[in-house]
Structure 1
Amino acid sequence: MTHEYIHETRLSQPREQVFAWHERPGALPRLTPPFGGGPDQVRQAPSDGIEPGSEAELGVSVPGTFGMVHLPWTAEHGEWDPPHYFTDRMAKGPLGEWEHRHVFEETESGGTLIRDRVTVRPLPQWAGRLNDLGERVMTPQLNRIFAYRERQLKADLAFHDQHDGPRLTLAVSGSSGLIGSQVCALLETGGHTVVRLERGGSTGEGVIGWDPDRGLLNPRDLEGIDVVIHLGGESIATRFTPEKKREIMDSRVGSTNLLVRALGQVPAEKRPRALVVASAIGYYGTGRGDEVLTENSSSGDGFLAEVCREWERAAHGATAYGMRVVNVRTGLVLSPTGGLLKPQLPLMQAGLSGPMGGGEQWQSWIGLDDMAGAVAHLALTEDAEGPFNVAAPQPERQKNFARTVAGVLHRPAVVPTPLAGPRAVLGAQATEELVAASHRVDVGKLLASGYRFRNEDLRGCAQHILGRVS
């Protein structure tokens, strides 16, 4: 026996545009939900888009592991008739059968109706419980998955409609990271060409090989690139030992200096027009309390503030070559698959979260999709220049943050957590700068540049990324 599920999505964009979005390489990462219940991890991109025979390697979360344990899932594309329909099926995975048929129809208003038809058959040991699985498990999970996909698709198409200028070629470092992978996918679905800067890789189709540790980057590889986006850097979620501090500083400042030197050696007529470099709201240091921080606020105290100052200074060197430079002062990025939220989810799900270190410190958070959207927006917006605070417009005190996200999971958030716990893991300095720091940033400059947020309030963002929209 099989279970059949149908979901319909109505869009204002014409069918050819919507189908083309699905054909591009970033479509699968953009549509894959981060909260489980189906394929929720892209391990290997489709080998040949959505054409017949193309395969992608995915993962599906094991229930109760909070996305930390995945089972392998191989998807294979079958029938294909652009712009009318395409199909994919599970070639290998944890079900007896999974087939997904995507049908695209024109509407009377000139828009598009997507009809997703999914056929699911469980493994033999579950066949006798199919009705129970279908009604109590499969249908609710598929509702969550396709509601997420619909929100993603509508927001991405709206983003591309807003940024309908010439299609660019962009080089991106840190392209496999939490933020970089989504920046690349968003740009690709808009028809832009993304070239990935890969450490130790060989320069070839779609790849620029470089080695920041050895100072190696061929300036010729940057010729013809329109914008460079530099998002790489050693993780800061660690003890700030002298060795780790050197690694964190060198991975950001050293690599940026290398990029700027190489850009200066590119002939002016072939040189990229813009350099977008990550920074962080750690620029403002510690001890800022309730102060509202704008891009004109002074830098603060602490190791991370020093890193951000040097990082931004290195990037600013590209202005000597007539390039537009943007420093992205990143807030606390939210996703179940990484960043601030991932390590907190098991405690929240268990009802063991609550105020940390008193909970009065401000957290300037931002959802992963808005983080990727803001970076892409600043790369594509020709008059965007200088530092930008990139966080949601509504920062939250830590105790309210914990209460809101736990509430979306229908869990309490009343268990106080003293800073002694983080200090035991991270040490005193990292705890002070990562956990106890208070940053209440203003994002008026980002809004004035024309960026349109997908999720301005924390509850709406948490509902989206956790698949708990009512």
Structure 2
Amino acid sequence: MAQMLNKFTRWQRSESQYLAADPEAVYSIVGNLAQTGSWMKSFDGFVVHDDQRGVGTKVDLRPPGKLFGPLHRATAPSGSITRRNPAQRMVEFTQPQPGGDMVLRWQVDSAGSGALLRFTVALRGIGTAAFKFSVANALCADFALAAARLFKVIPPAAHRTVPAHVVISGGRGFLGRNLVAELVCRGASVAVLTRNAEPDFPAEQYPWDGRHQGAWASALTHEKYPVHLINLAGERVDKRNTAENIAKLTASRVQSTATLAEAAAALETPLASWIQSSTTAIFGDGGETEFTEDSPLPEGARALPEMTGVASAWEQAYNDAQVNAARSYVLRTSLVMHPDAPLLKPLSLLVHTGMGGPLGSGKQWFSWIGMEDWLRLVRNLLGLETPPIPAGVVHAANPHPLRNHEVMAALRSIAGLPGLPTGSLLPKLGAAALGSNARVALTGRKVTSRVLADAGFDFAQNDFAATLHGE
């Protein structure tokens, strides 16, 4: 009983990011809460009183949200610095909440030749469930990008650079944002091709529409560094399964690939590498077959048009392009797991409404990879780390795929809730209401990587539940 009570009255989430910078230089900014709002844009920062004399200093939190933010400012008492230890490079802020409190903690540790920045949000008290959804998770949103902004304001003498210029098309989506942050924090030069520029984005942004040549092509040259291209561009996948939507999904990927290839073909110096995004969903509804890079694509009923059809056209556009690059890859990515992964939102909604049992039969395979492993794999493909990965098709997939019932059990365990099986009807009704595709959850494929196993790539995130916790 006490353990179940703790599930609802205590909650904690941590986010961390490596920075190729001197830990003391990082903490000189992180430890000054008056500067937090300049790099953490998930809230409006703090108003710090008493010149930060130390523990007990009065601090007013400016939380996120158009509704909760003004309400908090009008009704909430001030918080305070409850712990500060410059020797350990740690500072902690506590905000009283109705029936409890919220603790925010920043810690900077030495990590190799750089620093590891960890941000923790902890809730205690009867309001935990409400504040977890309204404030706490929002404070953690886009923490990797926040760390990249922080890296940008650290004096150049206190961080190192990597001799690589990386251009990312589709760099503002879920994967792209995390990849931009990772590369910036490791000292690479990063440029993003985007339809709409974002304020305070920690990388240079070039406007493009994915169809026409333009000034954005200048991003593919650099006066000092080799240039790498990572093509993530394409319309959001989880749409209703209609012929019109499938055509849009296909066209957005085929056109952007051809447009990039045309620009790259005009370069005097070939790209150092081209990483072409694809998806393990290319294997459609795979049943019990295990797929590696050597497997043929499915045919017939298992070759779903919104999966195999879209992805195979995407890869064919790349293969037809005669890519002007010294080294090239087709990176078929499985479902990338992170506490903020888009797929988890509808699944978590089912769990928190008591319907978190197996979806459909529960036997369908769920191929996945942790975000940290995916980012490290991309660094390997760029040649920034070892082991080297041979050019060609690569599956970004953990060697231990799960079944749907195992995934849902992990989500229930994290939430501390039971769950009724949903069958197939409820996901179909929910997908229809949300404008998504139920086959994303009701089908699956067992995908692993022979290429990564042969290369000796070591997966660090093998515990699915711990990966969702950010551990």
TM range (shorter): 0.5 to 0.7
Aligned to 1:186: 182
SS at match of 1:374: helix
Which sits farther off after the overlay, 192-201 or 256-265?
Answer: 192-201
- Conservation of the 8 A alpha-carbon contact between 2:329 and 2:393: yes
Amino acid of the structure 2 residue aligned with 1:182: N
SS at match of 2:90: strand
Cα drift, residue 357 of structure 1: 1.0
SS at match of 2:459: coil
Gap change, CA 1:291 and 1:102, over 3 Å in 2: farther
Is 1:250 aligned to 2:251, yes or no? yes
Gap change, CA 1:440 and 1:411, over 3 Å in 2: same
Aligned to 1:351: 354
Is 1:277 aligned to 2:292, yes or no? no
- Conservation of the 8 A alpha-carbon contact between 1:289 and 1:362: yes
Cα drift, residue 325 of structure 1: 1.5
C-alpha distance in 1 between matches for 2:336 and 2:36: 36
- Conservation of the 8 A alpha-carbon contact between 1:212 and 1:258: yes
Amino acid of the structure 2 residue aligned with 1:281: T
Aligned to 1:58: 41
Give the TM-score, by structure 2 length.
Answer: 0.68
Matches within 5 A, 1:417-432: 417-426=422-431, 431=437
Structure 2 residue aligned with 1:455, among 457, 461, 471?
461
- Conservation of the 8 A alpha-carbon contact between 2:389 and 2:452: no
SS at match of 1:399: helix
Cα drift, residue 280 of structure 1: 0.6
Aligned to 2:304: 302
Cα drift, residue 21 of structure 1: 6.6
Is 1:133 aligned to 2:135, yes or no? no
Gap change, CA 1:340 and 1:121, over 3 Å in 2: closer
Is 1:120 aligned to 2:94, yes or no? yes
- Conservation of the 8 A alpha-carbon contact between 1:174 and 1:230: yes
Cα drift, residue 22 of structure 1: 7.0
SS at match of 1:338: coil
Q: 1:209-240: per-residue Cα shift (whole Å, max 9, x none)?
A: 22214454653331125211111211121112
Q: 1:2-40: per-residue Cα shift (whole Å, max 9, x none)?
A: xxxxxxxxxxx999643467799xxx9xxxxxxxxxxxx
Cα drift, residue 192 of structure 1: 0.9
SS at match of 1:180: helix
- Conservation of the 8 A alpha-carbon contact between 1:22 and 1:189: no
SS at match of 2:244: helix
Which sits farther off after the overlay, 319-328 or 212-221?
Answer: 212-221
Gap change, CA 1:410 and 1:165, over 3 Å in 2: same
Gap change, CA 1:102 and 1:329, over 3 Å in 2: farther
Gap change, CA 1:166 and 1:56, over 3 Å in 2: closer
Aligned to 2:372: 369
Cα drift, residue 383 of structure 1: 4.5
Gap change, CA 1:456 and 1:165, over 3 Å in 2: farther
- Conservation of the 8 A alpha-carbon contact between 2:330 and 2:392: yes
Aligned to 2:342: 339
Amino acid of the structure 1 residue aligned with 2:315: E
SS at match of 2:362: coil
Cα drift, residue 437 of structure 1: 2.1
Unaligned runs of 5+ in 2: 1-17, 50-56, 64-71, 108-117, 123-136, 148-159
C-alpha distance in 2 between matches for 1:176 and 1:194: 12
Gap change, CA 1:167 and 1:98, over 3 Å in 2: farther
Gap change, CA 1:449 and 1:120, over 3 Å in 2: same
C-alpha distance in 2 between matches for 1:15 and 1:227: 20
C-alpha distance in 2 between matches for 1:395 and 1:180: 24
Gap change, CA 1:209 and 1:319, over 3 Å in 2: same
Aligned to 1:326: 329
Which sits farther off after the overlay, 275-284 or 446-455?
Answer: 446-455
The size of the alignment, in residue pairs, is 379
Aligned to 1:311: 314
Aligned to 2:62: 92
Give the TM-score, by structure 1 length.
Answer: 0.68
C-alpha distance in 1 between matches for 2:316 and 2:455: 22
Which sits farther off after the overlay, 364-373 or 96-105?
Answer: 96-105
- Conservation of the 8 A alpha-carbon contact between 1:55 and 1:77: no
C-alpha distance in 1 between matches for 2:459 and 2:423: 34
Aligned to 1:177: 173
SS at match of 2:181: helix
C-alpha distance in 2 between matches for 1:226 and 1:420: 49
Q: 1:256-286: per-residue Cα shift (whole Å, max 9, x none)?
A: 1110111001112xx3211112111111122
Gap change, CA 1:436 and 1:97, over 3 Å in 2: same
Aligned to 2:112: none
Q: 1:294-333: per-residue Cα shift (whole Å, max 9, x none)?
A: 0111112121212212212222356552432111211122
SS at match of 2:89: strand
Percent identity, aligned pairs only? 22
Cα drift, residue 176 of structure 1: 1.7
RMSD of Structure 2 on Structure 1 (CA): 4.3
- Conservation of the 8 A alpha-carbon contact between 2:277 and 2:332: yes
Aligned to 2:14: none
Unaligned runs of 5+ in 1: 1-12, 29-48, 60-71, 79-86, 106-113, 157-163
C-alpha distance in 1 between matches for 2:334 and 2:19: 36
C-alpha distance in 1 between matches for 2:203 and 2:106: 38
Gap change, CA 1:432 and 1:119, over 3 Å in 2: closer
Amino acid of the structure 2 residue aligned with 1:354: G
Gap change, CA 1:365 and 1:250, over 3 Å in 2: same
- Conservation of the 8 A alpha-carbon contact between 2:293 and 2:393: yes
Is 1:74 aligned to 2:49, yes or no? no
Q: 1:384-417: per-residue Cα shift (whole Å, max 9, x none)?
A: 421111122211111111112211222223x122
Aligned to 1:289: 287
- Conservation of the 8 A alpha-carbon contact between 1:229 and 1:379: no
